[in-house]
Structure 1
């Protein structure tokens, strides 16, 4: 029996649990299998354990359903990082719930602009569609990113 999104809880995560380590490794493996090395911008556990990053997990009781992070670029601009839905929870609204939480958290913290980088390949089309549904629009590279045919940059004023 599949769980419903109503039973899930979002938690500020310390990135110490084995469940999140496994989900992030799956994320990195997919990114490396889909994109050339110079176009993989996903962060590993150590990369996510930075003072300018807040990392959130979505739990269905004791099962990890997904995750997402906010990386502050400055006081008014943050980047969405490490959005991932566990395979058994795809197409159940997990990514939408995480993304809405990240937008709300950023807005509450005074962020005025959210940006993200995702892949340009077909594999990333569901992610691009989700971001567009939430009002993100195409933009040029931001922060330390450069133009890359394997990357799509999106932003949203909040």
Structure 2
């Protein structure tokens, strides 16, 4: 299975379809007030880079985004691999592309928020296998049972 990861606009029909699929998957798992979904339009803003995984035939198989908050902090957003493509490393390739861009930009800390309920067990394992560790809530995310937070330090802070 040959997969190519490229930076693309989320304002394409097949990427919009993946955003809708991801939302449909997430919506039943947490109350709406504890879901922090970006629309395709928000994903197209300049501080967010969207990676799309495509098969050799050009079929969109997954997506992932890097949202830069400042010179020190960026966030993994909108990670999704279509069910038919799971287990083949698409998600891992997307996460590696997101992390590589964060490193290229000199980001110190790559963080993410994901669901905190049992429906997210595979997601937790995925990020932990990618070197992320649990952390406290960041930015303006509420610290609730419906969220779980992860981080990966890309540049170690020097003690003052």
TM-score by length of 1: 0.93
- Structure 1 stretches of 5 or more lacking a match? none
Picking from 7, 10, 20, the partner of 1:12 is 7
In 1, Cα distance between equivalents of 2:131 and 2:65 = 18
Aligned pairs (5 A) from 1:13-92: 13-61=8-56, 62-92=58-88
In 2, Cα distance between equivalents of 1:97 and 1:24 = 18
Deviation at 1:16, TM superposition (A): 2.3
For the aligned residue pairs, the C-alpha RMSD in angstroms reads: 1.0
- Structure 2 stretches of 5 or more lacking a match? 155-160
Deviation at 1:122, TM superposition (A): 2.0
Runs of 4+ residues over 2 Å off in structure 1:
none
In 2, Cα distance between equivalents of 1:90 and 1:106 = 24
Count of aligned pairs? 153
In 2, Cα distance between equivalents of 1:127 and 1:73 = 23
